[in-house]
């Protein structure tokens, strides 16, 4: 007998258990006030699907009681997996940990603070069953966000779509559904700089956009402040586009050209009219202008070199400290999450 059929047989993977329909991935940091309500609403939304699902909580280094709350969550039908990272690695890394752990046919990313209402899961799964491989949830209204945050978000999306080859849809956050195929692609991406909005847009696939009203946070406060948001914006731009480098080159060309034109004007004035070279203020202005452009260009270069430095270290994206895996509790008489 040839070895080929034997090898072929050995490569067939038999599923260990029935594959879950949806993985709901919930990264959180210090969300003790909302986790119980979150679990309750997510379970209700998954129950409405009528099939086995899994919920993956990722504790991104919480220092409050959050881990002790989630690690005991369970459900009669759905599996509940809880991952605890060894410190705060940032939402992007926590989301990546959840995607790596996901085993279902599709994954949904959800914030723990219930700003992304779990009740939309049904519509998302319907769109996926109708053929979409990515279902992006676009915010119609951004309740609980001030005008400055809305304006800065709008400017960021505009800038990103100008610069990047793979434009990200405006007002679509992490709340979205990804088919298992897309999840596999994202999991295989090797980079350490995880600008999730960009990474999730990069693979393409069949996309559908659904609109929803974003609720205000249920309790607690946002984990983002302006320095963090500026860092995220810089990370997004430098990890997805080399346009700033091109702009630095163009700025260099334009200033050299204008210096050349100015030199011609000064030379002509001096030779024809015998004007002495004057103008201390204008000289200072030009020196400062050129200095500014040079420093800016060095800064832009530095941002890219910094990213290269971080990537070259090849450190893991996150470190898993603890993990619980709560199998469905079919036999339970009392369903704990019931109101």
Single out the residue of 16, 96, 70 nearest to residue 323, CA to CA. 70
- Nearest distance, CB of residue 334 and Mg ion, angstroms: 31
Cα angle, residue 210 at apex, residues 206 and 214 outer, rounded to 5°? 135
Rounded CA gap, 80 and 58, in Å? 11
Single out the residue of 103, 113, 26 nearest to residue 70, CA to CA. 26
156 binds, among ligand UDP, Mg ion, none (CB under 5 to 8 A by kind): none
163 binds, among ligand UDP, Mg ion, none (CB under 5 to 8 A by kind): none
DSSP β-ladder status, 172-179 and 134-142: antiparallel
- Nearest distance, CB of residue 41 and ligand UDP, angstroms: 14
- Nearest distance, CB of residue 330 and ligand UDP, angstroms: 29
Rounded CA gap, 288 and 51, in Å? 66
And the tokens for 114? 């219930």
Q: What's the farthest any 2 CA atoms get from each other in the chain? A: 101
If the CB atoms of residues 31 and 179 are measured against ligand UDP, the closer one turns out to be 31
- Nearest distance, CB of residue 232 and ligand UDP, angstroms: 10
92 binds, among ligand UDP, Mg ion, none (CB under 5 to 8 A by kind): none
29 binds, among Mg ion, ligand UDP, none (CB under 5 to 8 A by kind): ligand UDP
For binding to ligand UDP (CB under 6 A), which residues are involved?
Answer: 27-29, 31, 60, 88, 90-91, 94, 111-113, 115, 217, 222-224
User: Residue 24 pairs with which residues in a beta bridge?
Assistant: 55, 108
94 binds, among ligand UDP, Mg ion, none (CB under 5 to 8 A by kind): ligand UDP
59 binds, among Mg ion, ligand UDP, none (CB under 5 to 8 A by kind): none
If the CB atoms of residues 92 and 113 are measured against Mg ion, the closer one turns out to be 113
If the CB atoms of residues 275 and 322 are measured against ligand UDP, the closer one turns out to be 322
- Nearest distance, CB of residue 53 and ligand UDP, angstroms: 19
Question: For the purposes of burial, counting CB atoms within 10 Å of the CB of 16, is it exposed (0-12), middle (13-18) or buried (19 or more)?
Answer: exposed
For binding to Mg ion (CB under 5 A), which residues are involved?
Answer: 111, 113, 115
Left, alpha or beta for 14 (phi > 0: left; psi -120 to 50: alpha)? Answer: beta
If the CB atoms of residues 34 and 132 are measured against ligand UDP, the closer one turns out to be 34
Rounded CA gap, 238 and 193, in Å? 10
Kind and range of the H or E run holding 198 = helix 196-201
Q: Please count the other Cβ atoms lying within 10 Å of the Cβ belonging to residue 105.
A: 18
If the CB atoms of residues 223 and 269 are measured against ligand UDP, the closer one turns out to be 223
Rounded CA gap, 215 and 113, in Å? 9
- Nearest distance, CB of residue 35 and ligand UDP, angstroms: 9
And the tokens for 51? 């099939």
If the CB atoms of residues 31 and 54 are measured against ligand UDP, the closer one turns out to be 31
If the CB atoms of residues 192 and 223 are measured against ligand UDP, the closer one turns out to be 223
If the CB atoms of residues 60 and 113 are measured against Mg ion, the closer one turns out to be 113
Could you identify the residue written with the tokens 């100008």?
Answer: 162
- Nearest distance, CB of residue 54 and ligand UDP, angstroms: 18
60 binds, among ligand UDP, Mg ion, none (CB under 5 to 8 A by kind): ligand UDP
Long-range contacts of 221-230 (CB under 8 A, 24+ apart): 223/29, 223/30, 223/91, 229/152
- Nearest distance, CB of residue 216 and Mg ion, angstroms: 9
224 binds, among ligand UDP, Mg ion, none (CB under 5 to 8 A by kind): ligand UDP
């Amino acid at each position: 007998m040839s070895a080929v059929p034997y090898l072929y047989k050995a490569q067939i993977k038999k599923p260990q258990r029935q594959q879950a329909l949806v993985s709901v991935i919930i990264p959180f940091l210090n969300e003790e006030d909302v986790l119980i309500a979150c679990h309750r609403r997510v379970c209700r939304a998954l129950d409405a699907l009528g099939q086995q699902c899994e919920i993956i909580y990722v504790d991104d280094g919480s220092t409050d009681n959050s881990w002790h709350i989630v690690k005991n969550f369970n459900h009669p039908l759905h599996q509940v997996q809880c991952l605890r990272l060894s410190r705060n690695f940032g939402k992007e890394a926590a989301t990546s940990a959840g995607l790596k752990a996901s085993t279902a046919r599709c994954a949904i990313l959800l914030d723990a603070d219930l700003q992304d209402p779990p009740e939309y899961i049904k519509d998302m799964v319907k769109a996926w069953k109708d053929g979409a491989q990515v279902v992006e949830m676009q915010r119609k209204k951004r309740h609980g966000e001030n005008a400055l945050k809305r304006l800065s978000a709008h400017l960021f999306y505009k800038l990103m779509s100008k610069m990047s080859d793979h434009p990200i849809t405006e007002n679509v956050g992490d709340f979205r559904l990804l088919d298992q195929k897309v999840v596999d692609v994202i999991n295989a991406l090797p980079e350490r700089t995880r600008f999730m909005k960009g990474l999730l847009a990069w693979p393409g696939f069949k996309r559908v956009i659904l609109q929803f009203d974003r609720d205000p946070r249920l309790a607690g406060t946002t984990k983002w402040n302006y320095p963090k948001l500026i860092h995220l914006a810089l990370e997004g731009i430098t990890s997805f586009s080399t346009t700033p480098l091109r702009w630095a080159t163009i700025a260099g060309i334009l200033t050299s050209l204008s210096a050349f034109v100015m030199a011609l004007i000064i030379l002509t004035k001096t030779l024809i009219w015998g004007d002495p070279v004057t103008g201390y203020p204008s000289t200072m202005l030009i020196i400062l202008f050129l200095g500014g452009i040079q420093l800016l260009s060095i800064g832009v270069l530095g941002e890219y070199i910094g990213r290269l430095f971080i990537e070259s270290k090849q450190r893991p994206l996150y470190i898993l400290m603890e993990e619980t895996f709560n199998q469905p509790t079919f036999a339970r008489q009392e369903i704990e999450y019931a109101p």
